[in-house]
Amino acid sequence: MRLKAGVALLVGVLLPAAATAQARLTGADVQGTVKDESGAVLPGVTVTVTNMETGLVRTGLTAGEGRYVIPALPPGTYKISAELQGFATVTRQGVVLVLGQLATADFGLKVAGGHEEVTITAEGAVVDPSHTSVSTVVGQQQIESLPINGRNFISFSVITPGVTTDRTPQQGASATSGLSFAGQRARSNNIMVDGLDNNDLVVGSVRATFSQEAVREFQVLANSYSAEFGKASGGIVNIVTKSGTNDFHGNAFFYYRDKGLNAKDHFEKFDVFGSPVDRGKSPFSQNQWGGTLGGPIHKDRTFFFLSAERVDISANNFVNIDPAAAAILNAAGFPVELGNVPYDFRSTELLAKLDHQWTPTHNFVLRANFSDTTNENIEPFGGLVARSRGAVQLRKDWAIAAAQTDILSSRWVNEARVQFAHQKQDINSLDPNCDGPCLGNDQGGPTSRCRGWPTWAASASRPSRGPTAGSSSRRRSASSGAGTAPRRAWTSTTSTTRSSRCPSSSAGGTSSARCRRSRGWCPRRSARSRRSPWACPPPTSRVTASRTPPTPTRTCPFSCRTTGASAGS
């Protein structure tokens, strides 16, 4: 069965496909009709298409009905000419073909009185009357001219109708395209590079891409796309990388930004209670630099293209845990930094591409790309979440892809593509008590265990978020403490162990006796008054300290001790 499946797959890869399908996955097609002055079709007309950048020359002949088709042309600027003996040659200059286009270029030939040639240099764009899919092609002019934050070129996709940014909270550390097509989630999209998928097969996330400078253009298909696309219930982003040409071209760039260009955020102007404060601007630095180089190895035959980009960002998140709560957590062994807490983001992206034309109808492409990313804000901290609760992403991604295109006729095109990709991603804790990945239960910050009962405002309710600290791979716990209540309300995670011992007789004989009889209930009033028991919080519960804690008439002793680290809930 496996042998049959492998043979079927091999036949499917090698079997030629119709030119109107697979040929447009990474290129464009040109078709048209040639007629004479009376409107009669002309068979046998030679139509020549010449790429002005690489010197690629492809020819075709009109059939009996005067139609011609030249498939699988790389995106670029072309010169198209129609020639037939006895007629004046007509040439169209500067025809721009974009990704996925089925262009129609019709010609009308006149009888020549001698050697005569007609050149058309200014006309409207060629049309694609068979185009039915909802799609947009983002070209080089838009990529180079439109402003974009962080130079993430995929964000240009939002100029397509029906496409918007995804507002669903990120699930896990694997990034998505960040795009929502007609309300679909971002993991339902398919991102393709040079005709090959660029997705994580397990969770549907997007693998690392490359510099914006390495992108020639990309096509955004919102719906109604043809059969060669698939594996997506949302939309498709089809990217084509740049290639070398007959001329050497290159560029270098450097972008710099610091806090001088930033406005003050909310917590630099107000405290947690809304009172005006005057804090300095938080530290920030962003350096983004790189370059490209492309050119010929053998003119009109072999070309190369190289791209590199480096990003270094030093930013921060504002942590506004109450200082009293932070002091208790720090005393329990949980590192808690307040104010502007820094984090780093670093990324290196490399790409190399080789194009070779065996003949005008047979060409080969080899591409390799590498990405190395370090992101200390992959699990964002800030607000009531300490940095030690965050995580750092260490991600390395590389891929090698090859494609062979063979034009067998004007109707049959064979494209064979293969790719090997590897990604390694580690998510490690930012807890300084954790030396490395933090894989064991004995790693990370300690757990505070309290013996006895709180003296006030113990509640087993679970708030939406509290000041937590510890490993990113598991939730740590710290006690809220007891005694005098802090002036401001705060919440924390607690792991409480109920003591099996009751207060000694010195704390009140009657209360001690009642405590023994109730086995865990602590009377809050004197022995003579009516008992109203105070339940101890269950283990690993959330404890909320109210701003105005009640004052009991009689309390039980309360003490805390710190033990080794253990996995919290």
Buried b (16+ CB within 10 A) or exposed e, 341-380: bebebebbbbbbbbbebeeeeebbbebebbbbbbbbbbbe
Residue 355 contacts residue 243 (beta carbons within 8 Å): yes
356 within some domain: no
Quick one: 44 and 102 in the same domain?
Answer: yes
Quick one: 110 and 205 in the same domain?
Answer: no
List residues bridging with 512 in a β-sheet.
Answer: none
Q: Higher confidence at residue 438 or residue 102?
A: 102
542 within some domain: no
182 within some domain: yes
Q: What average pLDDT does this structure show over 65-74?
A: 92
Q: Higher confidence at residue 18 or residue 271?
A: 271
Quick one: 136 and 234 in the same domain?
Answer: yes
Quick one: 88 and 151 in the same domain?
Answer: no
Residue 54 in this model has a pLDDT that exceeds 80? yes
Quick one: 160 and 71 in the same domain?
Answer: no
41 within some domain: yes
Instruction: Single out the residue of 459, 430, 452 nearest to residue 521, CA to CA.
Output: 452
Q: Of 163-177, 294-308, 524-538, where does mean pLDDT reach its minimum?
A: 524-538
* pLDDT of amino acid 130: 57
Percentages (nearest 5) of helix, strand, coil residues in the chain: 10, 40, 45
Place of tokens 């080969």: 364
* pLDDT of amino acid 33: 94
* pLDDT of amino acid 165: 87
Q: Of 20-24, 168-172, 375-379, where does mean pLDDT reach its minimum?
A: 20-24
Which are the contacts of 256, defined by CB distance < 8 A and separation ≥ 6?
286, 287, 288
CA dist., res. 518 & res. 536, Å (int):
12
Q: Of 97-111, 299-313, 414-428, 445-459, where does mean pLDDT reach its minimum?
A: 445-459
554 within some domain: no
385 within some domain: no
* pLDDT of amino acid 442: 67
List residues bridging with 308 in a β-sheet.
Answer: 291, 350
Quick one: 164 and 78 in the same domain?
Answer: no
Q: Higher confidence at residue 512 or residue 486?
A: 512
- Of the three residues 185, 214, 241, the one that is the final residue of a domain is 241
* pLDDT of amino acid 444: 67
Quick one: 193 and 113 in the same domain?
Answer: no
CA dist., res. 469 & res. 221, Å (int):
44
Q: Express each pLDDT in 83-102 by its tens digit.
A: 998 899 999 999 999 998 88
| Pairing assessment for the beta strands 391-407 and 412-429 based on DSSP bridges | antiparallel
- Of the three residues 241, 273, 295, the one that is the final residue of a domain is 241
**Confidence label for 32 from pLDDT (cuts 50, 70 and 90):** very high
* pLDDT of amino acid 436: 67
CATH assignment at residue 176 = 2.170.130.10
The vertex-43 CA angle with 41 and 49, nearest 5°, equals 105
* pLDDT of amino acid 350: 96
CA dist., res. 183 & res. 197, Å (int):
22
Q: Express each pLDDT in 327-339 by its tens digit.
A: 988 888 788 899 8
Q: Higher confidence at residue 142 or residue 309?
A: 309
* pLDDT of amino acid 397: 93
Residue 283 contacts residue 314 (beta carbons within 8 Å): yes
Q: What is the DSSP letter of 333?
A: T
CA dist., res. 200 & res. 190, Å (int):
10
Quick one: 179 and 211 in the same domain?
Answer: yes
Number of domains in the chain: 2
First to last CA, the chain: 47
Whether the predicted model's global pTM rises above the 0.85 cut: no
Q: Is residue 402 helix, strand or coil?
A: strand
* pLDDT of amino acid 114: 58
Q: Express each pLDDT in 211-230 by its tens digit.
A: 999 999 999 988 877 777 87
Quick one: 50 and 94 in the same domain?
Answer: yes
Q: Express each pLDDT in 442-467 by its tens digit.
A: 666 654 444 443 333 333 333 333 44
Residue 428 in this model has a pLDDT that exceeds 70? yes
486 within some domain: no
CATH assignment at residue 62 = 2.60.40.1120
Work out whether the CA dihedral 461, 463, 468, 471 comes out positive or negative: positive
- Of the three residues 120, 151, 168, the one that is the final residue of a domain is 120
Quick one: 98 and 169 in the same domain?
Answer: no
CA dist., res. 533 & res. 47, Å (int):
96
* pLDDT of amino acid 334: 81
565 within some domain: no
Average pLDDT of the chain is 75
Residue 397 contacts residue 419 (beta carbons within 8 Å): no
Residue 274 in this model has a pLDDT that exceeds 90? no
Residue 404 in this model has a pLDDT that exceeds 50? yes
Quick one: 61 and 144 in the same domain?
Answer: no
Q: What average pLDDT does this structure show over 417-429?
A: 91
**Confidence label for 321 from pLDDT (cuts 50, 70 and 90):** confident
Quick one: 170 and 116 in the same domain?
Answer: no
Residue 148 in this model has a pLDDT that exceeds 70? yes
* pLDDT of amino acid 464: 37
Q: What average pLDDT does this structure show over 520-534?
A: 40
Residue 293 in this model has a pLDDT that exceeds 70? yes
- What range defines the domain where residue 22 resides? 18-120
